[in-house]
């Protein structure tokens, strides 16, 4: 896709961070917007900012993307009120609890997987028929650099982002000869509130979340226009991407351990040193 004027662009997780950045960028490009977030206040604020930029149609809906029924109802509403979507950006996501595997609850794995993976799955499947009916369009699924390598205290989050990667890469092959482009985004350290509420979340954010959301939004739009399928972008993203394929797993794991050791609370790891 080269232009977005009067095209219907659907964005999940639009209440803050990258999602809000996508909404404002596409508003400036003249798109009609269908926006979702679980945070009503944040979504309303994004809507106000969008209306200040554009007089194009705007639809907002507050729901959990991990709810299959709500996602499909959203797709039905978008088609009825705005017409077929041309772009779906599955951006919504949450962090995990920030604990090692043995310290995590089963509920955390289920919650993170439901939102981060199944939210992407439902969003893609709910809107793909509209893109195909339009005979053009783009699917943008947001993974993470933690969908390239496994990191400590993030096995719930990494599992979900690796799942997004696998699903999206498979979809790319399936749609190879279609008019639909598929894009997989691996953000690095983007300055959002994703780590809020996790153990050592503030320390993690201060150390790693350095790149402004608008910067990666600009790159994603370039990818949609050019057809580039993978984007690895943000603070330390290139370094992690290189490590994901250029280093042996053993060497990479040692590097990640040293890099992130100060995020690993010794108390949580005392189980590995009985009697110490």
Active site residues: 157
For residues 138 and 132, give the distance between their C-alpha atoms in angstroms, rounded to a whole number.
10
Secondary structure of residue 19 in the 3-state scheme: helix
Contact yes or no for 10/125 (Cβ under 8 A): no
For residues 92 and 115, give the distance between their C-alpha atoms in angstroms, rounded to a whole number.
7
Q: How many C-beta neighbours within 10 Å does residue 234 have? A: 27
Distances (CA, A) of 261 to 127, 148, 193: 41, 19, 22
Q: How many C-beta neighbours within 10 Å does residue 267 have? A: 8
For residues 25 and 41, give the distance between their C-alpha atoms in angstroms, rounded to a whole number.
20
């Amino acid at each position: 896709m080269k232009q977005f004027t009067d095209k219907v662009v659907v964005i999940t997780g639009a209440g803050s961070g990258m999602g809000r950045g996508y909404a404002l960028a596409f508003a400036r490009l003249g798109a009609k917007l269908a926006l979702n977030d679980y945070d009503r206040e944040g979504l309303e604020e994004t809507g106000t900012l969008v209306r200040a930029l554009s007089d194009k149609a705007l639809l907002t809906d507050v729901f959990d993307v991990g709810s299959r029924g709500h996602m499909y109802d959203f797709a039905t509403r978008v088609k009825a009120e705005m017409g077929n979507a041309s772009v779906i950006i599955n951006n919504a996501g949450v962090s995990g609890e920030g604990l090692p595997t043995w310290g995590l609850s089963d509920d955390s794995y289920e919650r993170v997987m439901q939102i981060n993976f199944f939210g992407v799955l439902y969003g893609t499947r709910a809107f793909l028929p509209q893109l195909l009916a339009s005979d053009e369009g783009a699917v943008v699924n947001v993974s993470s650099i933690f969908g390239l390598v496994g990191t400590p205290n993030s096995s719930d989050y990494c599992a979900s982002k690796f799942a997004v990667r696998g699903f999206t890469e498979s979809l790319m092959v399936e749609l190879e000869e279609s008019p639909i482009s598929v894009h997989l985004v691996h953000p690095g350290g983007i300055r959002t509130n994703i780590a809020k509420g996790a153990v050592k979340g503030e320390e993690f954010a201060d150390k790693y979340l350095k790149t402004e959301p608008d910067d990666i939004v600009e790159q994603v739009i370039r990818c949609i226009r050019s057809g580039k399928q993978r984007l690895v972008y943000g603070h330390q993203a290139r370094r992690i991407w290189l490590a994901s394929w250029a280093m042996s797993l053993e060497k990479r794991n040692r590097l990640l351990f040293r890099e992130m050791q100060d995020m690993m609370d010794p108390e949580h790891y005392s189980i590995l040193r009985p009697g110490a």
